[in-house]
Amino acid sequence: MTGRLRSAGVLALTAALTVGAAAQGGGKPVKGNPTPGTAQPDPPNVADRITLTGCVQAAPGRSTSTVEDNTPSDTHFILTRAEIRNVTPAGTGGSPATASASGRAYRLEAIESQLSPFAGTRVEISGEIKPRPAGLRGQGSGTSIPTILVEFVEKIAGACS
pTM of this structure: 0.61
**Could you give all domains of the chain from N- to C-terminal order, each with its CATH number?**
46-157 (2.40.50)
| Residue 51: per-residue pLDDT | 87
Q: What is the pLDDT of residues 104-160, one digit of tens each?
A: 889 999 988 888 899 999 999 998 888 766 554 444 445 578 888 999 999 998 888
Mean pLDDT of 6-11: 67
Residues in Cβ contact with 159 at an 8 Å cutoff, skipping those fewer than 6 apart: 120, 121, 122
- pLDDT at position 79 over 80: yes
Contact assessment for residue 109 and residue 68, using Cβ atoms and an 8 Å cutoff: no
- pLDDT at position 3 over 80: no
